[in-house]
Structure 1
């Protein structure tokens, strides 16, 4: 089966500072890939290159065979909206929306009508044990609950690939383990691939494949 995403010879510079150096990476459909490294190692910079948020200074990222640097701004925005999902360290929920509305946001942005979008969001929230929180706002839920909502939002539109930047980094160990288990379980059940960056080797051990990164250099691909 062809890889869903590949990076070849990717560099990323911030001015004269080289944050990512000659990175090569591949992700198969449904595969969970972890990238570990210390703070400042370049792993988040690489993640945003892979997601098309930051254009590489050199090299190329391809998704389903299409080079991201050949897409227009509108095309890459549509790709991130419809085919990608994102989970951030602090959830980044919109405070003015309810939990259910936050979860439904990718569907609404893709043009789906409100009622079916909320219905789909409700089903994902149910799977994550969050049905009782539907009408609450982000300020009314705990950190662990908020991160579960962020997971639901990233997967509600059944994307091909989710990018997760320290998805449990703001949680205590018990909540982190629970959220990660739910996240990867739901992603795998949908056949959604995941690229997650983390400093925690215990989290990386739950992936299918593991890369390490140090000083902007991505190490060779290996089994987690």
Structure 2
């Protein structure tokens, strides 16, 4: 499997604090990589380096054969907008938009016509069991449903990679399991790779490759048997 995203020797400094040190990581198309560790271990910092949100202090992050550090702001923004998706712990939906409009947002930002974007969003929402909620606003649905909408938004434009930072951390165990299954199932079915940051070993166990992070270092790698 050829790597769609990889990092070699990545360091990240916050002032004099080395938040990430000498990190190596790679993932292929449709592959799920989990980074687990305690709060403050550096796992979210590494995720944002991989996504091109934080510039690395040393080392290199490459997507589709291009070093993110060599790209200008416009090129990097285009990759994040068109090729990457994001899921956060609390969904981060826009309260003034409907569920369908929230899910369609990446397509609208990429310049797709509203009718086409809403149609694509409706199809993804339907796959996640949310078709009947399309016209509601985030305040009118449950936390678990909001997180499913966040998953739909991250996957609607069929990105190459989705970066998920504690995507089920705000949910109870029942909703966490259901959202995670739907998220990873849909991502794998469309060939989207996932970088999944979590403190929960049960969530990490759903990944193809698992890393443990401690004090800024990736200290362990476990690959699931195929």
- Which category describes the TM-score, using the shorter chain as reference length? over 0.9
Counting only pairs closer than 5 Å after superposition, residues 23-42 of structure 1 correspond to structure 2 as: 23-42=23-42
Counting only pairs closer than 5 Å after superposition, residues 133-148 of structure 1 correspond to structure 2 as: 133-148=133-148
Query: Does the CA-based 8 Å contact 1:25-1:221 persist in structure 2?
Result: no
Query: Does the CA-based 8 Å contact 1:95-1:137 persist in structure 2?
Result: yes
Counting only pairs closer than 5 Å after superposition, residues 165-204 of structure 1 correspond to structure 2 as: 165-204=165-204
Matched residues in 2 for 1:115 and 1:171: separation? Answer: 32
Any idea what the Cα deviations from partners look like across 1:109-157, whole Å, max 9, x if unmatched?
A: 0000000000000000000000111001111111000000000000000
**What corresponds to 1:106 in structure 2?**
106
Matched residues in 2 for 1:60 and 1:223: separation? Answer: 23
**What corresponds to 2:66 in structure 1?**
66
**What corresponds to 1:91 in structure 2?**
91
Matched residues in 2 for 1:196 and 1:2: separation? Answer: 19
| Number of aligned residue pairs | 224
Counting only pairs closer than 5 Å after superposition, residues 143-162 of structure 1 correspond to structure 2 as: 143-162=143-162
Counting only pairs closer than 5 Å after superposition, residues 50-61 of structure 1 correspond to structure 2 as: 50-61=50-61
Gaps (5+ residues) in structure 1?
none
Matched residues in 2 for 1:2 and 1:176: separation? Answer: 31
Query: Does the CA-based 8 Å contact 2:61-2:68 persist in structure 1?
Result: yes
Q: TM-score, normalised on structure 1?
A: 0.99
* Secondary structure of the structure 2 residue equivalent to 1:219: strand
Gaps (5+ residues) in structure 2?
none
Matched residues in 2 for 1:159 and 1:19: separation? Answer: 28
